[in-house]
Structure 1
């Protein structure tokens, strides 16, 4: 079986890294030959998705389109085409029909609610070619959709009933628990990308109130940190070589999300990372979070400012509770969100569509 994965970014992007690249050795061992074709170079994708990212411009979008069209022209050489998330960062008129015609069998893998619209608008003279419904129509044309959570799958089934769930997983042999930071100021940590960093503003008031009562550091990895008067805040760029070290520096992991249709499609990578390294997670009960974190088992689900404050205060004041919830989270990550758990599911999906 010969499969090509069409990704928006190279391995430096979180979505292709966790949804495609990390599975390649497992797929190859199962006899599935894999090719990965990003829409743009690693350098170009860093400009769009990196910490100091810029808006996509017409030149970027034209280059992305030219590259993707050339890749689709080669698609018939492969048994199955897997589109990871979307064909382009924008919606382009007619591209869904072209992809369906070019692919022998078409699989769409999603870890965001791309059917609600593309992540960017077309720029400049390309605006005349825009079709914001194109990503949704691509889902309807797929032979199989792979979703990163049940919540996301439920929102896609009205478009295509052929949906399988493969949760976003991590390599639990690499992401392992570290030593508890005894005696240090507790660290409330967040890791992610600039696109989700604005959600930290949801906790601005909560963190300010906590800082008046307790000593802690808010550490943000992968994006600029919010400015919060009275709160000690640190920001660090995401670095693949430092990711584990940075996670080990957290005592509590947070994942705030607004309750919006787009956020409900989020598949909870942050929460899975926190569980894997053995730290308790506090999350908004949105999207995949309630599937990953069970209330008072691996962490807490907090819907209101008072619930967030209570959960964080409890964990800040009780290192023993942090250790117990962290150990439970590690066990859950190994059982449900490890490569050993997720890779066989992806193999099964690809082999079934090949029959």
Structure 2
């Protein structure tokens, strides 16, 4: 009964709670920025006092001296994190995708601190770290609450910690907004990283067939320079400052994926980016993509090469359909997946966490 009373008053008052946020990366690290850092203004507006410590500094330049300085700073940053966790003044420790040593978590819990662990990829699968799964399980078990980005990760987490919830990887819909600009040449867009650009190989035969019927351009944001599909392609480096500009140069957004265990745990973030920019989406029916893409409504799910080809043709031939799907995608972002919506979920979950011993 007391919990119910607390819940009633919780939404009426702002808590004066201190949160220590530890991230695996800095502002240039997508998971750190998307899963933690962009929430700081919302947390502060709800009365939380936030301190953020990244595991690493901003990426250094490529000269030998810069790499030495970067390596030294990494050690300093790590030591700073350990000291802050051990003696810092906070009520909640929010850890994003960083394997904090278990003994530090034990120390936190002895001091009455609440631990939140957030992860948005299958970090328990690693070809370079044989201990990755063991470390992931240990952190999940010690946390008071675990936040994941999709059902696959949540199911995995709940095997070891029942207090696991899903908050999808939010896009700030106030920053990524639609622009009513028409391209002279139809543009198929993709955004990601050099590492994830390997998935584009799925579409190479599809692009070859499309080029026999249509004139179009590929706009690849963040892809490897070596990628070549023998069709007109513009490759640009990703930057936070230019992200919205390039999204708005696309007519449709794509997300091909392999259907493997690691890919099934992906969070679908690039689909949210396309939708926020008002673009129809085409995606492989893998993991959360099957929930985000409402086939025929805001885009199409494409399993085979024929599916991809047909979906491309439908959208390239029908401007009205593209506009309709883009509008619907934007509506879904505002209703379910935008930063404003996800911030409410996060704040509510953190407040509820403080009610339980």
Q: TM-score, normalised by structure 1?
A: 0.86
Instruction: Give the Å deviation of 1:297.
Output: 0.9
- The aligned counterpart of 1:155 is 156
**Structural mapping, 1:46-85, within 5 Å:** 64=74, 67-75=77-85, 76-77=87-88, 78-85=90-97
- The aligned counterpart of 1:137 is 138
Instruction: Give the Å deviation of 1:227.
Output: 3.4
**Structural mapping, 1:153-192, within 5 Å:** 153-181=154-182, 184-192=184-192
**Which has the larger Rg?**
2
Find the aligned partners of 2:43 and 2:229 in 1 and give their Cα distance. Answer: 49
Matched, 1:37 2:43: no
**Equivalent pair of 2:57/2:77 in contact (CA under 8 Å):** no
Q: Deviations over 1:222-274 (max 9, x none)?
A: 12255334311111011222111100000010011111111111111100010
Q: Deviations over 1:178-208 (max 9, x none)?
A: 11415x1111101111221111111111111
Find the aligned partners of 2:120 and 2:201 in 1 and give their Cα distance. Answer: 23
Instruction: Give the Å deviation of 1:96.
Output: 2.8
Matched, 1:116 2:116: no
Find the aligned partners of 2:188 and 2:258 in 1 and give their Cα distance. Answer: 19
**SS of residue matched to 2:233:** strand
Find the aligned partners of 1:23 and 1:8 in 2 and give their Cα distance. Answer: 16
RMSD of the TM alignment (CA)? 2.4
**Equivalent pair of 2:105/2:142 in contact (CA under 8 Å):** no
Structure 1: segments with no counterpart, 5+ residues: 48-56, 89-94, 123-129
**Equivalent pair of 1:152/1:287 in contact (CA under 8 Å):** no
Instruction: Give the Å deviation of 1:170.
Output: 1.1
Quickly say closer, same or farther: Cα 1:290–1:131, change in 2 above 3 A. closer
Count residues in correspondence. Answer: 330
The more displaced of 273-282 and 140-149 is 140-149
**Equivalent pair of 1:86/1:135 in contact (CA under 8 Å):** no
**Equivalent pair of 1:212/1:230 in contact (CA under 8 Å):** no
The more displaced of 152-161 and 235-244 is 152-161
Structure 2: segments with no counterpart, 5+ residues: 1-16
Q: TM-score, normalised by structure 2?
A: 0.86
**Structural mapping, 1:189-338, within 5 Å:** 189-225=189-225, 227-338=227-338
**SS of residue matched to 1:42:** coil
Find the aligned partners of 1:58 and 1:136 in 2 and give their Cα distance. Answer: 33
Find the aligned partners of 2:229 and 2:257 in 1 and give their Cα distance. Answer: 22
Find the aligned partners of 2:255 and 2:25 in 1 and give their Cα distance. Answer: 24
**Equivalent pair of 2:207/2:229 in contact (CA under 8 Å):** no
Find the aligned partners of 2:290 and 2:326 in 1 and give their Cα distance. Answer: 16
Find the aligned partners of 1:115 and 1:147 in 2 and give their Cα distance. Answer: 13
- The aligned counterpart of 1:12 is 28
Instruction: Give the Å deviation of 1:327.
Output: 0.5
Find the aligned partners of 1:350 and 1:291 in 2 and give their Cα distance. Answer: 26
**Equivalent pair of 2:125/2:132 in contact (CA under 8 Å):** no
**Equivalent pair of 1:115/1:156 in contact (CA under 8 Å):** no
Quickly say closer, same or farther: Cα 1:196–1:229, change in 2 above 3 A. closer
Quickly say closer, same or farther: Cα 1:225–1:298, change in 2 above 3 A. farther
The more displaced of 26-35 and 9-18 is 9-18
**Equivalent pair of 1:86/1:114 in contact (CA under 8 Å):** no
Find the aligned partners of 2:220 and 2:193 in 1 and give their Cα distance. Answer: 10
Instruction: Give the Å deviation of 1:162.
Output: 1.2
Find the aligned partners of 2:37 and 2:201 in 1 and give their Cα distance. Answer: 32
